[in-house]
């Protein structure tokens, strides 16, 4: 084990030989103002605290830095030399801070969002318009896919914030409920279910081949959970738009978010089929890697989803 590792606090040797930036800035203020009291006021500390800091720095370096007198404070020869070195260190620290801020600004100027299809198509556009009003310089990229794909993107570090619509939170992610949704059964007006006078029960729904989203989608997860995994696919499609098109074309009944079919229902291109005994309500969630609460524009977008 090295000497640095053995020391309390884990600091390297330089941390014990070089004064901290605050002390160096205080010394520069004394040199510029010729007054310890003036330097203390500029630094926002008391004069006794400033005197203590200078004495501590002198003990650390092993040389006298400041001569104090009723007429003020002036640097010793050693103090003048140390001040020149201190100025370089402070300037380097300021450059370091400016560079770090530039990195933060670059990070905060972009936002990578991964969202499941229903949220991406029907909710996210409004949220992104509101975000643009608050952060006009933030560039947003959207990765749309099913809920399983959203989780993969987040865990791979390829997205800053995600949105899913399944029955549970994918492993490795924290979440917050941002909205509620309900799946409904729809079919073309010519289908027998559109004209019947009674609701479809769970058993009949499970026995009937349906137009479904693919495995891994939040919509499919909710339906499978509601039917005990017994849903029978007539066709499996990877987008909400494709499922709607197949249902409108008369291929068969479909199960979709009520967010997705408002226009089709209003124009009677699809008909809502009453269902009983099937729990099709679901929570819509924002998700992010466990222990890494969203920051910057991701935090702002998360806030907007709850507005």
pLDDT of 101 over the 80 cut: no
- Domain end residue (candidates: 37, 72, 106): 106
The string of pLDDT tens digits covering residues 48-59 is 998 999 999 889
Say what the pLDDT of residue 246 is.
95
Q: Looking at the structure, do residues 28 and 91 belong to the same domain, yes or no? A: yes
- Domain end residue (candidates: 106, 141, 163): 106
Arithmetic mean of pLDDT, 228-243 = 89
197 vs 91, 105, 192, 274, CA distance in Å?
80, 60, 10, 9
Say what the pLDDT of residue 2 is.
40
- Domain end residue (candidates: 44, 73, 106): 106
- The pLDDT-based confidence of 18 (bands split at 50, 70, 90) is confident
Q: Where are the alpha helices (DSSP H) in 20-170?
A: 21-33, 36-43, 47-61, 77-108, 117-122, 124-134, 147-155
Q: Looking at the structure, do residues 83 and 151 belong to the same domain, yes or no? A: no
Cα 43 versus chain centre, distance: 36
CATH code, domain with 172: 3.40.190.290
Q: Looking at the structure, do residues 204 and 293 belong to the same domain, yes or no? A: yes
In total, how many domains does the chain have?
Answer: 2
Q: Looking at the structure, do residues 84 and 138 belong to the same domain, yes or no? A: no
- Contact by Cβ (8 Å): 199, 280: no
Say what the pLDDT of residue 34 is.
86
The angle subtended at Cα 86 by Cα 83 and Cα 89, nearest 5°, is 160
* DSSP secondary structure string for all residues of 283-302: EEEEEEETT----HHHHHHH
Say what the pLDDT of residue 236 is.
92
Arithmetic mean of pLDDT, 244-262 = 93
Say what the pLDDT of residue 106 is.
52
Report the 10 Å Cβ neighbour count for 157: 10
Q: Looking at the structure, do residues 187 and 52 belong to the same domain, yes or no? A: no
More confident residue, 207 or 70: 207
Q: Looking at the structure, do residues 91 and 121 belong to the same domain, yes or no? A: no
- The DSSP symbol for 133 reads H
Arithmetic mean of pLDDT, 96-115 = 71
Give me the domain span that covers residue 217: 111-303
Give the pair of three-digit tokens for residue 146: 């099913």
């Amino acid at each position: 084990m090295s000497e640095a590792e053995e020391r309390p606090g884990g600091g390297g040797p330089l941390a014990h030989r070089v004064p901290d930036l605050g002390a160096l800035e205080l010394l520069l203020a004394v040199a510029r103002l010729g007054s310890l009291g003036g330097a203390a006021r500029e630094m926002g500390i008391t004069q006794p605290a400033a005197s203590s800091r200078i004495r501590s720095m002198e003990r650390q370096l092993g040389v006298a830095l400041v001569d104090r007198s009723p007429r003020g404070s002036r640097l010793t020869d050693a103090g003048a030399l140390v001040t020149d070195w201190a100025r370089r260190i402070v300037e380097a620290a300021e450059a370091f801070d400016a560079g770090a801020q530039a990195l933060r600004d670059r990070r905060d100027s972009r936002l990578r969002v991964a969202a499941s299809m229903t949220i991406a198509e029907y909710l996210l556009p409004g949220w992104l318009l509101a975000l643009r009003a608050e952060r006009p310089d933030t560039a947003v990229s959207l990765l749309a896919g099913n809920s399983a794909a959203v989780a993969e993107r987040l865990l791979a570090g390829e997205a800053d914030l995600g949105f899913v619509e399944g029955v549970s939170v994918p492993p490795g992610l924290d979440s917050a409920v941002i909205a509620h949704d309900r799946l409904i059964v729809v079919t073309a007006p010519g289908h027998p279910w559109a004209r019947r006078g009674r609701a479809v029960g769970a058993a009949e729904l499970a026995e009937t081949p349906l137009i479904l989203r693919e495995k891994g989608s939040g919509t499919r997860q909710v339906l499978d959970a509601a039917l005990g995994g017994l849903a029978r696919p007539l066709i499996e499609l990877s987008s909400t738009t494709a499922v709607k098109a197949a249902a409108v074309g008369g291929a068969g009944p479909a199960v979709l978010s009520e967010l997705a079919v408002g226009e089709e229902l209003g124009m009677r291109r699809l008909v809502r089929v009453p269902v009983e005994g099937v729990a099709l309500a679901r929570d819509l969630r924002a998700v992010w890697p466990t222990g890494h609460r969203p920051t910057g524009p991701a935090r702002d977008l998360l806030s907007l989803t709850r507005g």
